[in-house]
Amino acid sequence: MPAETVIEVKNLVKNFGEHQVLRKIDFSISKGEVVCVIGASGSGKSTLLRCINHLETPTAGQILFHGKEVKNTQKDLSAYRSKVGMVFQSFNLFANMTVLKNCMFGTTKILHLPKEEAHSRAIQHLKEVGMAPYINARPDQLSGGQKQRVAIARALCMNPEVLLFDEPTSALDPEMVGEVLNVMRDLASKGLTMIVVTHEMGFARDVSSRTIFMDQGYVVEDESPDVLFVHPKNERTKAFLSRYMSDQQQT
Amino acid sequence: MSSIIAYFTNATGSSPGAQGTTFQWIAYIAGQYKFMFLQAAWVTVYVAFLGTILGFLIGFLVGIVNSTKIEPDDNVVKKALLRIVKVIIAIYVEIFRDTPMIVQGMVLYYGLRDNNVMVTSIVAGVLVIMLNTGAYMGETVRAGINSIDPGQTEGALAMGESHFGTMFYVVLPQAIRNIVPEMCNTFLTNLKETSVLNVIGVTELFLMAKTAGGAYYKYYESYLVISVIYLVMCFVFNRIFRVLEKKMKGSKDYVLAAEYMNTDE
């Protein structure tokens, strides 16, 4: 049964000056899918994610949301972004607001929901990530793992159709990676559509419904994780995975 | 208090005369002109305060415009408008930073009056302080805005907030916190700089000291009196600002919301 396509990326090209970071990317994600994007640093994974959210304006190509092109106008972008949440490597919680205010910002200022509803949504999602007792804390009073869990709750408050994760655990101390990945596993099992750029191969293998391997601005392989991690077809995928495995054996 | 003044002023209230000591003269002038000095101190604070506040508003406008980048995919009208405004701002900032305030005062006051805009010297004085403060604060505000981590902006934009809303709700509140110490400094500087406005007849402390000193040819004593007044005013404002800054920083502690503690899992 073909599920409904939510986001479709067509011929996406992104240049930074002379440097071509993304070279004609095509891919799509359907409702309920969890797509993990892996690859070496500098392969264009994060840029792809940022282009999907239009934080980087694509040089060429299209982003389609439910089959409709997202235009580069304030109105289009606001409507689109409020349905496509983003979780950042560096959390990006608003430093001038408490945890609760962070989680109520989008619902009150962008979706214009009544305060009570915004509040109950915030509490509900903070409970989901285990951060409800910290509603009065400011971001600078929290640990990295706690901040990232709040950031996920903040994104969930918007009731997004898709949630984009840009290396959500890369800035965390090793002992905090688990708590964030657990929250993400939980979300995946609840059927949330997610695109996750990550270096956590274990997470990609266990949780994703599809894994994309990127190299030098190309999508090299787009497969189910069972195939990609066990029988990679492309030489570059093989090389990347074997390098990763040997690194892991050393540590 | 009156007995002390009476002691210094020969108990009669008449001037110490040629044999009077410096102390006697200081006390005499302070006593004779105390209401006028108070009045002048009020004018000083009033002009400095109003000029600084209005100047901050200009400074914020200048800083916000200057920190707005022209994006390649903005439409033509926005690009053109932004460029024109930026040029106007650049000229304004350059003029006010590269000329002395005392000269600006003369040009503005007499320039306006000669063109039949009958401003009072107080209004002209406030205008000069305002335009000066705006020219200097613009750069402070721009730096304050640029010091905020771009991630803060991205966090808001990625949720669907507009550029304006992002600036208003997320960036500016954080930038203001960073520039508050500089704002306090600017006010204290302005408090002292109002003294140049005596050239256009603003009856602030300097002009009052000139008047009082001139009446007896006792300039040294007279200016010493206003030195003390300036010093006390700046000292008091400085302390008040420090307390305010401390308050703004907020406590390092936070309270866990007990009502959500056991429902955590």
Strand partners, A7: A29, A65
- CB-based contact B263 A86, cutoff 8 Å: no
- On whether the CB atoms of residues B55 and B42 are closer than 8 A, the answer is no
pLDDT, tens digit, for every residue of A71-84? 888 888 999 999 99
What percent of chain A shows pLDDT beyond 70?
A: 98
ipTM score of the complex? Answer: 0.92
CA–CA gap between residue A224 and residue A205 (Å, rounded): 9
- The answer, yes or no, to whether residue B18 has pLDDT greater than 80, is no
Categorize the per-residue pLDDT at B68 as very low, low, confident or very high, splitting at 50, 70 and 90: confident
Least Cα separation, residue B151 to chain A (angstroms): 5
> What average pLDDT does range B49-67 have in this prediction?
93
CB-based burial, B216-231: b 16+ in 10 Å, e otherwise: bebeebbebbbeebbe
What is the pLDDT at residue B7?
52
Mean pLDDT, rounded, of chain B = 88
- Residue of A105, A125, A152 to mutate for B, most B C-beta atoms under 10 A: A105
Least Cα separation, residue A96 to chain B (angstroms): 6
Helix (H) or strand (E) holding A38: strand A34-38
Q: What is the 3-state secondary structure (H, E, C) of B89-113?
A: HHHHHHHHHCCCHHHHHHHHHHHHH
CA–CA gap between residue A133 and residue B255 (Å, rounded): 9
- The answer, yes or no, to whether residue A26 has pLDDT greater than 80, is yes
Categorize the per-residue pLDDT at B2 as very low, low, confident or very high, splitting at 50, 70 and 90: low
What is residue A203's three-state secondary structure?
A: helix
- The answer, yes or no, to whether residue A179 has pLDDT greater than 70, is yes
Torsion angles phi and psi, residue A166, rounded to 5: -105, 95
pLDDT, tens digit, for every residue of A102-144? 999 999 999 999 999 999 999 999 999 999 999 999 999 999 9
> What average pLDDT does range B167-188 have in this prediction?
93
Q: Does A73 touch chain B (CB under 8 A)?
A: no
CB-based burial, B164-190: b 16+ in 10 Å, e otherwise: ebbbebbbbebbbbebbebbbebbbbb
Least Cα separation, residue A155 to chain B (angstroms): 8
Q: Does B161 touch chain A (CB under 8 A)?
A: yes
Least Cα separation, residue B157 to chain A (angstroms): 8
Torsion angles phi and psi, residue A186, rounded to 5: -55, -45
Distances (CA, A) of B53 to B2, B180, B191, B262: 38, 12, 12, 49
- On whether the CB atoms of residues A6 and A29 are closer than 8 A, the answer is yes
Distances (CA, A) of A63 to A10, A86, A160, B152: 6, 16, 17, 24
Interface size, chain A vs chain B, as Cβ–Cβ contacts under 8 Å:
99
Tokens 């993304």 appear where? A22
Distances (CA, A) of B80 to A122, B63, B64, B71, B123: 42, 19, 17, 12, 34
- The answer, yes or no, to whether residue B1 has pLDDT greater than 80, is no
Mutual orientation of helices B76-97 and B121-146 as an angle, nearest 10°?
120
pLDDT, tens digit, for every residue of B70-94? 877 677 888 899 999 999 999 999 9
Categorize the per-residue pLDDT at A2 as very low, low, confident or very high, splitting at 50, 70 and 90: low
Categorize the per-residue pLDDT at B26 as very low, low, confident or very high, splitting at 50, 70 and 90: confident
Categorize the per-residue pLDDT at B3 as very low, low, confident or very high, splitting at 50, 70 and 90: low
- The answer, yes or no, to whether residue B10 has pLDDT greater than 50, is no
Categorize the per-residue pLDDT at B262 as very low, low, confident or very high, splitting at 50, 70 and 90: low
CA–CA gap between residue B243 and residue B112 (Å, rounded): 41
CA–CA gap between residue A108 and residue A123 (Å, rounded): 14
- CB-based contact B170 A96, cutoff 8 Å: yes
pLDDT, tens digit, for every residue of B202-225? 888 999 889 888 888 888 888 998
- On whether the CB atoms of residues B101 and B56 are closer than 8 A, the answer is no
What percent of chain B shows pLDDT beyond 90?
A: 57
The identity of residue B128, as a single letter, is V
> What average pLDDT does range B89-102 have in this prediction?
95
CA–CA gap between residue A2 and residue A30 (Å, rounded): 8
Distances (CA, A) of A79 to A130, A196, A200, B108, B158: 29, 22, 31, 50, 11
CA–CA gap between residue A196 and residue A183 (Å, rounded): 13
- On whether the CB atoms of residues A62 and A11 are closer than 8 A, the answer is yes
Nearest CA in chain A to B259: A133
- CB-based contact B254 A137, cutoff 8 Å: yes
Mean pLDDT, rounded, of chain A = 92
Q: Which residues of A touch B174 (CB under 8 A)?
A: 95-96
Distances (CA, A) of B194 to A25, A94, B171, B202, B227: 63, 40, 33, 9, 13
Can you list the positions of beta strands (E) in B205-253? Answer: none
What percent of chain B shows pLDDT beyond 70?
A: 93
Structure tokens at A236: 């570059």
Of B195, B48, B197, B187, the closest CA to residue B108 belongs to B197
Nearest CA in chain B to A137: B254
> What average pLDDT does range B155-170 have in this prediction?
93
Among B37-46, B63-72, B157-166, B172-181, name the one with the lowest average pLDDT. Answer: B63-72
Of A95, A101, A129, the closest CA to residue A115 belongs to A101
> What average pLDDT does range A10-24 have in this prediction?
91
- The answer, yes or no, to whether residue B5 has pLDDT greater than 70, is no
Q: Which residues of A touch B149 (CB under 8 A)?
A: 90, 92, 95
